[in-house]
Structures are given as structure tokens and as C-alpha cells.
Amino acid sequence: MLTLAIGLAAAGACCFAGTVHLQHRAVHQATTGPVLGLPAVRTILRSPGWYAGIGLAGLGAVLHVLALTMAPLAVVQPIGVLTLVLTVLLARTVLTRAVLAALVMSVTGVAGFVALSAMTTNTALPAPDLGSAQWAVLGAAGLAVAARYTRDRTRCLLLALATAVLFGFTSALVRAAAVAPLSGGLAALVIAEAVAAVLAGVWLLHQAYASGPAAVVAGATTIVDPLSAVLIGVFAYGEMTPGQLAGMAVPGAVAVAGLVLLAREVPPTTEPTAPARRKRREGPPRIAITADTYPPHVNGAANFAYRLASGLATRGHDVHVICPSTSGETFTEVTGGVTVHRIGSLRTPFHPTFRFCPPWRAAKAVPSLLAEIEPDVVHTQAHFLIGRSAVRAATAAGVPVVATNHFMPENLLGYGPLPRWTHGPLARLAWRDLVRVFGRATVCTTPTPRAAELLEHNGLHRPVMAISCGIDRAHYAGPRSEPAGAPTVLFVGRLDAEKNVHELLEAAAALPPEVRVELVGDGSERHRLEALAARLGIAERVRFHGFVPDEELVRAYRRCDVFCMPGTAELQSLVTMEAMAAGKPVVAADAMALPHLVRHGQNGWLYPPGDVTELTRRLAAVLADEQTRTAMGKASLELIAAHDLGSTLDQFERIYLDIAAQPMAVALQR
């Protein structure tokens, strides 16, 4: 009997997966909003697919009830996890390594859970405490009420959890009515309550369908439905002791971990029935650039976002930027032909100048601004608070998304007080989060082939386009504007841990005493670097400029003899490109994307990261030979021509026009 019950429960799970697939598609064909209203209900009731789903649900329910009459809740309910696995397959999800691993974990965990529960569960059900089971109804009601005050994925999850609790409660009632010796009146009451719970659950289930993807709905129901039913079986029915339940925690945890991984890896929606976009206007597309960092922030990502926006505006595009404000106030300004919408922000405790939008403010302001702007394309520059809100809102509205990554976890972890042994695990979590957000975009880009490899290596199983951030070469080119003085080594960038500026100072201490070092930029390491220069006895030879106006920055590039970049977390290094555009030789760490810019022995030298002796030798060789400096400077000018800003703008314009001219589903497939 037990084997037959398991087989019936598995067949029922197959039917329920078909129901989820058919009904989720019917709901999304009937409504474009997160709330299922009466007009949408009328449309759904005319959908043959929805009725087919009803038929499968009925068959699955019959099979499930039969299984419950033959085996305990702890055996039958966990098999429902197969619904999520089959839902993923029916949605034609790409079976990446992560998805396959999640499927194996889910099935293995469920198999172990079922095997242990079959050996330890009491099949008799003498006197179920139905009063204790009623707490499940209160829990479902609380989740449904909480869902009214949330939106998007959170609303979908809460509604699905409420549905799962009601379905688990229904299974517990069916088990009691079918097996336990209940009186006639009590049995009728139990059956009536089960029917009411099913009807309420079905309504909440369809609201969840309207609010989010099928994977979230199936995942929540398959996890919480058996959990709630098993807990009722343990604490209200006495089918198993709490100690026996604890012994099944390991396979249960494996199954849950597999489900969580699966829900994270599956795209938010794989149906080609995304909300229809409005007809695109004539002329160049209206572009919304969303950025979590934008001038007056000083960093590579902020500079690129500014250059991209202003360059597109110069070409006649209607460009809007959504970014953090310079204060706690929200306002809109027009600068250089670009409409900049600044959302009120807060200062971060880890960095003196960086500001961020709190999540509750970004989640409310970004969708509202995008609805007002009505862009043809959204181009996000990050996956953080503003970026993820923009991706979520744009994909929900059927607007194509270009996602450009400038992020490396090492650039962020260096700001915090966490010990270094935590950086590896945290970096892996950060990459997974980035991949989850960028996996929803229509097109993904990054500045260099090495950066594209990093994204694909860390789980983004789709092609990534390598498009240089670009450089306005004419802005930095020009003769030395000041008389030649002492030999000068220049560094430009944030004075933060991953830039390794201490290596440059240690090398400078071993160079001839007439060599000077200029540091342009500021950051969390400035005080330590000033103290280091004093300890090395070179404080008078090192000048800390801090942040400088653009005109002074250009003069610094033109007057230096060699540019040094010791950073090991550069996805492209705009400042190195600027130095090359000024015709300077470069000595850089042989790490990340820097070898894409510095050709060893041609326009400069690469040295092993951390090898101060080699850095010193390379700097001394360049500074001692004017003919070599001149030849390397000319090579820099030739190499940087491939990174002209005009070419970058051309490539992004082609992408915008391509994805804005076709439906979202077609763009996603391409």
C-alpha cells in the first residue's frame, strides 16, 4: 500500500505541475497588473487552457486523496516537491549546471525524506486534535493580509505561502476525515472546512499567478504545503514524534536548499506572454539610464554613466538618468541635455563620499519614474538597489533592458570592517546575486572580454557582449602644458584597499630621490597612505591632491612622465585609458583587465601583483630613458584608438535600436 501511495502522489504532482503551467499562462494572458480583477476573471473563464488546468488539478486531487488514505501525511505531502521540478521543465528553462544541481538536490532530498518518514511514521491515526490544526488558518490569513501591503515578487511569495498553508491544512483535514473515527456531524464539518480552504487557496493562488512567475508560486507551495501538513501531522495528529521529525532534518534541508537554488536560477518569467509594450515612437529611442553611482560620485562606473548619457544626448537622443541624489531630497534637473532624476539618498558609513538610496525608497521611486518617463529601453549600470528595481519594473512592463556590469565584489568588500577570511564566501554570494538580477536582462554587456569571462564563470549562462567604456581621446591629448621638472609618477583613482597604492609608495622609496609621486583621488586608505609615506621618509616627494576639477586632472596627465596602476580589481580602468589618451607610458599590475590595455614592452610594462621589487625596476627603467618613454607614449595613443567613445556610442545605439524594434520575447530569445 505504501508503494502504491507514493506512486499516486507522484502522479498527482505531475498533474499539479501541468495545472501551474496552464493556469499561470492563462492568468498572464488575461491581465498585465499584479491584481486579478473581475474583467481578467471573465477573460480567464473563456480560456480553454485554464479549463484544461482545472481538469488536471481535479485528477491530481483525486490521486492525492487516494494516496492520503493509504499513507501518512509525512510520506505523501513531501512528494509534492516534484511539482516545482516539473514546472521548470514545462517552462522550457535552460538546464544549466546550477539548475541541474538544484533538481538533483530536490529529488534526492525528497527521496531521503520519504524513505525516513516511511520507516518512522505511525500509520495509525487514533484521535486527531482538529482544534490545534486551526492555527494554520490564522497563519494563512496573516500572510494574505501582509501581501496586500507589498508588491511584485514579495507579494507573489506571500500569496503563494498563504495558498500553501491552506492546501497543507486541507490535506490534513482530508487525512483526518478519511482515516480517523469522526462522528457524522464532525466529519461533515471537516469536509465543508476543507472545501472552503481549497476555494480560498485557489483564489489566492491565482492572485499569486498575477503577481509573479510560476517558479516562485510552485516553489513556495511545494515547500510550505508539505511542511505545514507534516507539522500538523506531528503536533496535532501524533503521526510522528518531534524527535523523529528532527532526524529527517538533513534530507529535508537538502531538498529545501535545492528548491531555493532552483527558484534563484530560474528566470522570473519564461512565457512569451509578457505585457505588450506600447508602440514605439518615431525617431531615436527614449533611453532611461539607471545608475547606483553617478557624478558627483568619482569612480569608473559613475564616469562611464555620465559619458554615455551626455554622448547619447549630444546625438539627439532623449536621455533620462535615474540615480541617487546628492542629499536626502528627491529632485529632477536637466544638465547638458540629460534629464537627471535624483532619488533622496543616505550616506554610507563605510565610505566618506558614496551615497545610496535605501531599498524602500528605490523600490517605490524607480517604478514610478519609469512609468512617467515611458522609455523604449532601460540601460542599467548596476544590480544594486536602483538597478534591481529598474530591471524588475522594466521587465514587468515589457520594456527591454540592457545591463552593463562594472562590479567586482573586491571593490566593495574593501570598504567594510569584515575580516579577510569572510571576503571569499561573501564574494561568491555577491556574484550569485548579480547573476540573478542580470539574468532577467535582454542584453548583458561589460567593458572587457576578461570581465565577460568573469560573469560567465560565476553563473551567467548566456553570452555577454564586451563593449569598451570608451574614452574622449581629444579631451586628454595635447603637449605637456608645464615645463619639465622632476620625474613624476602619477596615480589616479580611489585611495582604497584594492588599488594597492601602498605598493607604489614602497617602490617610490627605492627610486632616485628626485622622483616625485602624485596621487589624484581620495578614499578610505588615504590616512594610512599618508602615514606610510612618512614612515618611508618620502612624505615630501608624495603629493596627495584629493579630488580635483577636470581641468586639473587633464593637466596632471599631461605633466607626468609615467602612469602607474597597481590595482588588481580593474574591470577596465578608465583612468589608465585616460593616461594612454594623454600619450603616457603605463606600468600596471598584471591582473584582471589591465593586460587588455597595457602591452608588455610596447606601451608600458606589466609586473606581478604584489612584487614591489619588479615594480620599482620597471618604473626606474621608464623614467631613466626618455626615448623609451616617447616610444611607449606613441604606442599608447595608437592602442587607445580602439577605445574611442564614438565607437562605444555606436555599438550601444545599435543595441537599443535592435531590441526596441521587436517584442520582448523575441529579444530575450535572441
Residues 135-145, mean pLDDT to the nearest whole number: 86
Please report the pLDDT score of residue 95 as a whole number: 60
pTM of the model: 0.57
Please report the pLDDT score of residue 16 as a whole number: 81
Please report the pLDDT score of residue 670 as a whole number: 41
232 located within any domain: yes
| Residue 321 near residue 304, CB atoms below 8 Å | no
Please report the pLDDT score of residue 273 as a whole number: 39
User: DSSP class of residue 437?
Assistant: H
Give the pLDDT band of residue 175 (cuts 50, 70, 90). low
Give the pLDDT band of residue 667 (cuts 50, 70, 90). very low
49 located within any domain: no
CB neighbourhood size of 434 (10 A):
24
Same domain for 520 and 427, yes or no, is: no
Give the pLDDT band of residue 621 (cuts 50, 70, 90). very high
Please report the pLDDT score of residue 417 as a whole number: 59
Residue 313 and residue 334: Cα distance in Å, rounded? 11
Same domain for 314 and 331, yes or no, is: yes
552 or 102, greater pLDDT: 552
Residues 169-176, mean pLDDT to the nearest whole number: 76
259 located within any domain: yes
Please report the pLDDT score of residue 33 as a whole number: 57
Same domain for 110 and 195, yes or no, is: yes
Give the length of the chain.
670
Q: With 50 as the cut, is the pLDDT of residue 664 above it?
A: no
Distances (CA, A) of 625 to 454, 618, 619, 620, 628: 37, 11, 10, 9, 5
CATH of the domain at 399: 3.40.50.2000
Same domain for 427 and 460, yes or no, is: yes
CB neighbourhood size of 246 (10 A):
10
Residue 617 and residue 139: Cα distance in Å, rounded? 69
Give the pLDDT band of residue 270 (cuts 50, 70, 90). very low
Q: With 60 as the cut, is the pLDDT of residue 420 above it?
A: yes
* Number of structural domains the chain divides into: 3
Please report the pLDDT score of residue 636 as a whole number: 96
- 529-581 pLDDT, tens digit per residue, is 999 999 999 999 999 999 898 899 999 999 999 999 999 888 888 899 999 99
Same domain for 348 and 442, yes or no, is: yes
Residue 167: CA count within 13 A, CB half-sphere: 29
Residue 257 and residue 250: Cα distance in Å, rounded? 11
- Which of 330, 329, 347, 335 has its CA nearest to residue 295? 335
46 or 466, greater pLDDT: 466
361 located within any domain: yes
Give the pLDDT band of residue 510 (cuts 50, 70, 90). very high
Give the pLDDT band of residue 282 (cuts 50, 70, 90). low
Same domain for 204 and 248, yes or no, is: yes
76 located within any domain: yes
Could you tell me which residues are beta bridge partners of residue 490?
Answer: 518, 563
Q: With 80 as the cut, is the pLDDT of residue 123 above it?
A: no
* Long-range contacts of residues 476-481, Cβ cutoff 8 Å, at least 24 apart: 476/554, 476/557, 476/558, 476/578, 476/579, 476/581, 476/582, 477/581, 477/582, 477/583, 477/637, 478/554, 478/558, 478/582, 479/558, 480/558, 480/559, 481/555, 481/558, 481/559
Same domain for 399 and 491, yes or no, is: no
Same domain for 399 and 538, yes or no, is: no
User: DSSP class of residue 466?
Assistant: E
Considering Cα of 375, then 381, then 386, then 392, what sign does the dihedral take?
Answer: positive
Range of the domain at 374: 287-470+658-669
Type of residue at 231:
L
Ranked by mean pLDDT, which of 71-80, 241-250, 530-539 comes out on top?
530-539
Same domain for 137 and 195, yes or no, is: yes
60 located within any domain: no
Please report the pLDDT score of residue 21 as a whole number: 78
Same domain for 377 and 452, yes or no, is: yes
Q: With 90 as the cut, is the pLDDT of residue 342 above it?
A: yes
Same domain for 488 and 422, yes or no, is: no
Same domain for 493 and 621, yes or no, is: yes
| Cell 538533513 belongs to residue | 250
With 0-12 CB in 10 A as exposed, 13-18 as middle and 19+ as buried, what is 18? buried
326 located within any domain: yes
Distances (CA, A) of 604 to 28, 35, 574, 594: 57, 60, 16, 11
- Which of 355, 357, 395, 402 has its CA nearest to residue 379? 402
55 located within any domain: no
Lowest model confidence (mean pLDDT) among 62-76, 319-333, 548-562: 62-76
- 360-407 pLDDT, tens digit per residue, is 889 889 999 999 999 999 999 988 899 999 999 998 888 999 999 988
Q: With 90 as the cut, is the pLDDT of residue 238 above it?
A: no
- Which of 462, 395, 373 has its CA nearest to residue 664? 395
C-alpha cell at 235: 503536533
Please report the pLDDT score of residue 530 as a whole number: 96
- Convert 182-244 into a string of H (helix), E (strand) and C (coil): CCHHHHHHHHHHHHHHHHHHHHHHHHHHHHCCHHHHHHHHHHHHHHHHHHHHHHCCCCCCHHH
User: DSSP class of residue 562?
Assistant: E
Across the chain, mean pLDDT equals 82
